[in-house]
Amino acid sequence: MSIAPIVINGNTFVPLRFVSEATGNVVNWDSQAHTVSIKSSGAATVTKQFGGASYGKDVGYMGSMEFVEDSGNLYLWKKDGWMDEITYSLSVGTKDAWAVTDKTIVTIPKEGKDSRLGDMRLNTALFVRNQLIIRDEQGIRQIVVSPKGEITSDTYIVKMPRKSSEMFKYISTGDDEGFMIGTDNTTNFSVYLLNDIANPVTFTDKKRRIYVNDSYGGSDYFYVKSKKQIYFTSNWRVKAFDTANGDMIYDNDGKEAYISPVLLSSRIFYQKSKFYAVGVGTSLANPYVVNVFNEEFEADSSSFNTGYKSSVPETITLTDNEVHLWTTIDYRNEKSIRLTSIPR
């Protein structure tokens, strides 16, 4: 407790935030209304071993895994390999059982005679819903997979020959998902959304500020339609790019503005005009909370505790009624996934 209790007229007063957070609640201060809200996170449900069994093999040193939830199913996408070829495989399941584990969806060989850096750039793919979106020499290839792990569609949804110095990134609008491509030395951008592929949003970034701010390839991107702005993470905060005037949003000192009020300890997720991110709490009893913000990045009273004390969850997914926190664990000597479900 950073502030000591005080005694007034024989009554002992302790900080409201300390008591509330120590008992598992989240405290939010509305600076405009000068009011305090205290919210209980509700009863969390923990699935100790999602699917009742191991999710399959781990990926190699240069590999990665991505949790994608769609229509009640978890699509655990795996990327393995690097220089000669990259294999994309998939495990699909529900809380009760895995329908398939470690099924190879596609293997992409090395293309052309580009340099080693070029080889990495040639093998670029994104995981969106039950889809693998691949950028190759011809354009954007979309592979759609069923809940049983079967390929139901494999086609090019955008025909666009690859150019040098491209960016290819996942992007969300809060009610749709897709990808953003930066071409012509990353000065011209197009945002393609899966529900409206034929009508991309285009804009110019002549100063290449999005590319420069890309945090070594690890930024998350969001298109806020109401503002016509691209939000993206940079140095654990959020900046904004105005697509209408083709430049960054600046503060009063002429510096690129950080629009998020707090440092964020994980990826950010955007749904129904709200942003969700795991942040650091203010007490040992409540070390990790899910911070919820509106599109102005003002704190929302629906922030809540995660129940995680020793490690931050690896991924957040959102349903209409719950927030799902995913963590890979060893369970009875099996590579497994723990799911924590918290009511919204």
Domain extent listing, the chain: 1-40+267-344
Confidence (pLDDT) at 52: 95
Residue 109: what pLDDT?
74
Contact 237, 285 (CB under 8 A): no
Question: pTM score, two decimals?
Answer: 0.82
**pLDDT at site 318:** 84
- Collect all residues with Cβ–Cβ distance below 8 Å to 40 and sequence separation of at least 6: 24, 25, 304
If DSSP codes are grouped into helix, strand and coil, which group holds residue 212?
helix
Contacts of 223 (CB under 8 A, 6+ apart): 171, 172, 173, 180, 191, 201, 229, 230, 231
Cβ atoms 45, 322 nearer than 8 A: no
The predicted structure's pLDDT at residue 263: 66
Tokens of 279: 């942040």
Residues present in the chain in total: 344
Residues 303, 325: Cα–Cα separation, whole Å: 14
Hey, what amino acid is at 190? S
Q: Which residues are CB-contacts of 4 (< 8 A; sequence separation ≥ 6)?
A: none
| CB atoms closer than 10 angstroms to residue 112 | 8
Q: DSSP string covering 18-72, please?
A: HHHHHTTEEEEEETTTTEEEEEE----EEESSGGGS---PPP-TT-EEEEEEETT
Q: Is 258 helix (H, G, I), strand (E, B) or coil?
A: coil
pLDDT, averaged in runs of 10, over the chain (344 residues): 70 68 59 60 81 90 85 92 82 95 88 42 77 90 96 95 84 94 92 95 95 78 94 88 96 91 73 82 66 85 73 81 89 91 82
- Choose among 41, 251, 92, 112: nearest CA to 239: 251
Residue 112: partners with Cβ closer than 8 Å, 6 or more residues away: 118, 122, 137
Q: How far apart are CA 318 and CA 271, in angstroms?
A: 8
Q: What is the DSSP letter of 10?
A: T
The answer to whether 26 and 41 have CB atoms below 8 angstroms apart is yes
How many H helices and E strands in the chain? 3, 28
Cβ atoms of residues 172 and 204 within 8 Å: no
**Cα–Cα distance measured from residue 207 to residue 222, given in angstroms and rounded to the nearest whole number:** 20
Distance CA 300, CA 274 (A): 9
Distance CA 232, CA 72 (A): 28
